[in-house]
Amino acid sequence: MASAAISSVGKLVIVKNSAFFGTAMSLLSPYTIVVSGIEVKPGKPCPYHSDNVRGKLHVTQATLGIGSSTEKSILRCSSGHKSPVFLCSLLPDKIESCPLNLEFDIDDLVAFSVIGSRSIHLSGFFAADDGDELKDDYE
């Protein structure tokens, strides 16, 4: 179970140190945006889980993790039974971040993975549809 520090401003919920793709928090209104991020480590695919809440996951940024390797790290995405797609290639001291505009629905079977020796941090937000509620992991 992931731990989360939650702060809220109006309808925006900001989540720190949470599992971006699997942790759910209580909504403050019928339509809330949850902002979060996750580290995708080499050799450890990171699946997207919606916890059966209707809405969309928006991935907006990929940033190269800290490390000593000077080799590139590639972010790739697998969807269902289709072949993986390379989303970006990050190179230390040259290209260390990449803006993304990816959107995934509840029914999308998606997993992110990294090719290379450094991790890649993904950030974005989850926008729940009207009337759906996220449940707190600790309830």
pLDDT given at position 52: 61
Q: List, in order of start, the domains of the chain with CATH numbers.
A: 5-128 (2.60.120.340)
**65: Cα within 13 Å, side-chain hemisphere:** 19
pTM above threshold 0.85: no
CA 126-130-135 angle, to 5 degrees, is 60
3-state secondary structure of 111: strand
Look over the chain and give the mean of its residue pLDDT values, rounded to a whole number.
75
Q: pLDDT (tens digit, 9 = 90+) per residue, 90-120?
A: 999 999 999 999 998 877 788 999 999 999 9
Q: What is the three-class DSSP state of 108?
A: coil
Per-residue pLDDT tens digits for 32-85: 566 778 899 999 998 877 666 677 888 999 999 999 999 999 999 998 888 999
Give the tokens for residue 10.
Answer: 């109006």
**Structure confidence at residue 2 (pLDDT):** 37
Give the pLDDT confidence of 11-20 residue by residue, as tens digits: 344 444 344 4
pLDDT of 134 > 90? The answer is no
Q: Residue 37 pairs with which residues in a beta bridge? A: 123
pLDDT computed for residue 79 by the predictor: 84
39/60 Cα distance (integer angstroms): 14
Gyration radius (Cα) of the chain, Å = 15
One-letter amino acid at 3 equals: S
Smallest CA-to-CA distance from 32 within 53, 59, 61, 18 is with 53
